[in-house]
């Protein structure tokens, strides 16, 4: 592999943060449009584009769930520094 485990995890977390920022920007634009026009309506006449948008949105959702589960699993991991800190606290 090109990267170690920690670097891969950091890249995945950064990607998830970029998706979160993109979602926040889209929501902000929608809220501004609602405040100006009173509503937001989207219409897509091209079925291929609509299906691609739906699939990509699902992919981003699954990616977010995957990263969340990864982070939960990492919370339960013991690191050597944890063992080192416990040893020094007992003294």
For the chain, give the percent of residues with pLDDT over 90. Answer: 18
- pTM equals 0.62
Q: Is residue 44 part of a domain?
A: yes
Q: Is residue 10 part of a domain?
A: yes
Q: What is the pLDDT of residue 47?
A: 94
Q: Is residue 48 part of a domain?
A: yes
* 10-44 confidence digits (pLDDT tens): 888 888 889 889 988 988 998 998 999 998 888 88
More confident residue, 77 or 86: 77
Task: Note the residue count of the chain.
Answer: 91
Looking at residues 56-72, what average pLDDT do you find? Answer: 87
> Residue 10 and residue 4: Cα distance in Å, rounded?
10
Measured CA to CA in angstroms, residue 43 lies from 40, 49, 91 at distances of: 10, 11, 67
Q: Is residue 85 part of a domain?
A: no
Domain count, the chain: 1
């Amino acid at each position: 592999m090109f990267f170690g485990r920690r670097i891969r995890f950091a890249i995945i977390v950064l990607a998830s943060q970029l998706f979160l920022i993109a979602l926040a920007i889209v929501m902000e634009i929608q809220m501004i449009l609602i405040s100006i026009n009173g509503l937001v309506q989207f219409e897509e006449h091209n079925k291929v584009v609509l299906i691609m948008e739906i699939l990509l949105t699902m992919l981003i959702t699954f990616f977010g769930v995957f990263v969340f589960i990864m982070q939960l699993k990492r919370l339960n991991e013991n690191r050597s520094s944890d063992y080192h800190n416990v040893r020094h606290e007992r003294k």
